[in-house]
Structure 1
Amino acid sequence: MNMQRVAPSYPRLDDLAQRARASGAIKVGVVYPCEASAMAATFQAADLGFIDPVLIGPSAVICRLAEEAGLALGEREIVEAADPLAAARRGVALAGAGEVAALMKGSLHTDELLGAVVGRDSPLRMGRRTSHVFWFDCPAYHKPLMLTDAVVNIAPGLMEKADIVRNAIDLAHRLGNPMPKIAILAAVETVNPALPSTIDAAALCKMADRGQITGAVLDGPLGFDNAVSLTSATTKGIVSLVAGEPDILVVPNLDAGNSLYKSLVYLGEAACAGLVLGARVPIILTSRSDSVQARIASCALATLAAAGDRTG
């Protein structure tokens, strides 16, 4: 039998986009947009009303790329910067001066942009570890789901994980969730000294009990199955306010997070957006393998995150 594949719908992604448009476009410093897909996604996000891009890089290259791609620059602002490092420094300076409300990675390397953001003299430093948060619209899950950190922190220790959790809580608050439920993931749901991730999970929950982490309900260690499935948790005798209802999943390290992120996208058909948080402005950190949809959705997410800053 010839079965036709039905494309998934993303009602929660549509809602995110509508809310971003309603909040109004923000100025975004697009750092070194010297590659066709980065330029196209930037212009589409601008046309949709999410961002007002400020293009930071060599103007001759930017104008040539725009012409080759059939994109009309019009009155779009270009800030001259000769190379990726100069563009990153210029973008950070503009954000520090309040001239742009977010930064977006163009075709430079991630470490070139983040190195400028967290550098010793950067005006964007907040004294908190930077981390990445993915926001997903998963067809198989009943509400938006966030995942952190699958991009920036390779093997975070306990205090780095505390900042990763705080950054995700801040984003949830800006998106309108005053008390997100957070599952701290590990391979097993019991504390085991042989698995440091379970010790860290338990410690993070105790930090929340003691008021060191606020604004959320934490539980862990939880396995992925009993975090997202109440049936699985009940079968294992787990009593939890988070099981089956997490808004945020916190992974133990980048290996686990990156694999889970790609599983949700490539097998779970989830639509996603992502931001780097922990600096004074949100940073849209897209990958060359990201779809145009993911790039545009990340711009919408940054718009709402920055709007949350404006409204306190």
Structure 2
Amino acid sequence: MTQGTTFENRTYEELKVGDEASLARIAREEDFLVFATASGNHNPMHLAAYDGDGDGVPEAIAPSLWVGSLVSAVLGNLLPGAGTLYRHQSFDFSGHAQAGDELVVTVRVLEKLPEHEVRLSTEVRRAADGAVIVSGEALISAPTRKLRFDALDVPGLIVQRHRHFEKLVALAAPLDPLVTAVIAPEEPRSLGGALLAHAQNIITPILVGAPDRIAAAAAETGLSLEGIEIIDEPDHALAAHRAVDLVADGRAGALMKGHLHTDDLLRAALRKERGLRAGRRFTHVFVMDVPGVPHPLLVTDAAVNIQPDLKTKVDIVQNAIDVAISIGIAVPRVGMLSAVETVNPDIPSSIDAALLSKMADRGQITGGLVDGPLAMDNAVDIGAARTKGITSEVAGRAEVLVPPDIDSANMLAKQLAYISHAEGAGLVLGASVPIILNSRSDGDMARLASCAVAALHHARTRGLSPKH
């Protein structure tokens, strides 16, 4: 119910036979996931990610008792309303709803009984065709006191599902696997992420590290190394150089960080002889899948450039725009973050943001829309932008967020991960090939999505087509 709506109940004395009330509700896949969590019913027929009956088509059929539960919303809010208590409910299920269906729920008073009891008919119809999919009767104890109340401010629920990453993995699936040199995958998480992406045909890994430690990690995870090339190099710094050699020799199209220090990897990638420099600064991008946000959210630079100057920020922005395009955002909206949304000479980040916005206007940054300075609220929330009187294509709609420095960018990414339950795919861009750079704490989905983003970016920048 919408906050601010006022409800008034109908007491037993006020109710008349024939009184009725209805509400409309769109069935959403997220509702089915919440129901699965709350009820413990994990029947795959109700979950769109699965084919529950083996016919090759995921169903996402609404759980029947979830549909039936919508009746209680009418009884508890509208008729009779506040103070109503259930005594009995019967259901006949004559049809099914699917995600996206609009449902109309109606209750009607059939009979008033002694002791303040009321019998009502209950039904749920599909709005599209008017078909009754649930019918029955309710017996309730009606309220005896008149009540008026505003819609309760019930906390919202966010389904911790990473649909954007699932889409990216699906987009990468038709591509030829990206040959990826994985450096020192000598513990379960880094090895498991590479092998998971291999199992999904997103990458073909070449493992560079200590074979005994790699084998021990594989044994700990229960994963097989059969058919996977392993290059024996136990020294991490040397392993990074061996991996860069694979790229220089044309044997690999990407690097992936395993269980080694980022400095060792980047030092090898930035070497002058047969290194991976490609004209821009190396910059890091997190592609974040934030539950409840309708699009991927990119945060940059949270891992490489500590106090970027204006020239470096140009590359940070351009690299982020390029990868955003690679994952399907046609014209990325880039919000240059500061503490304020107006240029303040005492806040250097606000000056840089304004300059970068103007540089984009003049074609010095291409492919996206850049605006700033923007405070965090008016970068991502259209209501906040309107309140501040900011009118632009970016304000309130930003898909790429560029904080002023590594401190603020890293804090923002970690807040999204640990407070908003986001997953983050990490890449270093600006090199001649994508460098997959995950945190040691990242789980399988983050590592898999990082490989998918790398594969998509590699394919787009080289004009490669799907294999089918």
In which range does the TM-score fall when normalised by the shorter chain?
Answer: over 0.9
Instruction: Indicate whether 1:108 and 2:285 are aligned.
Output: no
Q: Is the 8 A contact 1:140 1:268 kept in 2?
A: no
Aligned letter for 2:292?
A
Moved more, 292-301 or 257-266: 292-301
State the partner residue of 1:143.
Answer: 295
- Distance in 2 of aligned mates of 1:209 and 1:11: 33
Sort the Cα spacing of 1:53 and 1:178 in 2 relative to 1 into closer, same or farther, 3 A. Answer: same
Aligned letter for 1:218?
V
Sort the Cα spacing of 1:240 and 1:18 in 2 relative to 1 into closer, same or farther, 3 A. Answer: same
Q: Is the 8 A contact 2:244 2:268 kept in 1?
A: yes
Moved more, 63-72 or 82-91: 63-72
Give the Å deviation of 1:224: 0.5
Q: Is the 8 A contact 1:175 1:308 kept in 2?
A: no
Give the Å deviation of 1:6: 7.0
Correspondent of 2:417 among 260, 265, 284: 265
- Distance in 2 of aligned mates of 1:67 and 1:142: 39
Moved more, 248-257 or 166-175: 166-175
Q: Say which structure is richer in helix.
A: 1
- Distance in 1 of aligned mates of 2:419 and 2:354: 30
Aligned letter for 2:227?
E
Moved more, 168-177 or 22-31: 168-177
Give the Å deviation of 1:7: 4.6
Sort the Cα spacing of 1:209 and 1:29 in 2 relative to 1 into closer, same or farther, 3 A. Answer: same
- Distance in 2 of aligned mates of 1:287 and 1:10: 18
Instruction: Indicate whether 1:34 and 2:186 are aligned.
Output: yes
Instruction: Indicate whether 1:15 and 2:167 are aligned.
Output: yes
* Mapping of residues 91-102 of structure 1, within 5 Å: 91-102=243-254
State the partner residue of 1:62.
Answer: 214
Instruction: Indicate whether 1:229 and 2:381 are aligned.
Output: yes
- Distance in 1 of aligned mates of 2:320 and 2:360: 14
Partner secondary structure for residue 100 of structure 1: coil
- Distance in 2 of aligned mates of 1:144 and 1:209: 24
State the partner residue of 2:455.
Answer: 303
Give the Å deviation of 1:66: 2.5
Q: Which runs of 5+ in 2 are unaligned?
A: 1-36, 39-156
Correspondent of 1:189 among 335, 341, 346: 341
- Distance in 2 of aligned mates of 1:293 and 1:15: 12
Superposition TM-score, scaled by structure 2 size = 0.64
Sort the Cα spacing of 1:68 and 1:234 in 2 relative to 1 into closer, same or farther, 3 A. Answer: closer
Partner secondary structure for residue 344 of structure 2: coil
- Distance in 2 of aligned mates of 1:54 and 1:116: 17
- How many residue pairs were aligned? 310
Q: Is the 8 A contact 2:268 2:275 kept in 1?
A: no
Give the Å deviation of 1:257: 0.6
- Distance in 1 of aligned mates of 2:385 and 2:220: 55
Correspondent of 1:125 among 264, 271, 277: 277
**Larger RCO: Structure 1 or Structure 2 (Cα < 8 Å, ≥ 6 residues apart)?**
1
Instruction: Indicate whether 1:170 and 2:322 are aligned.
Output: yes
Percent identity of the aligned residues?
Answer: 47
Across the aligned residues of Structure 1 and Structure 2, the Cα RMSD in angstroms comes to 1.7
Partner secondary structure for residue 103 of structure 1: strand
Runs of 4+ in 1 over 4 A off after TM superposition: 3-7
Sort the Cα spacing of 1:67 and 1:264 in 2 relative to 1 into closer, same or farther, 3 A. Answer: closer
Give the Å deviation of 1:24: 3.0
Q: Say which structure is richer in strand.
A: 2
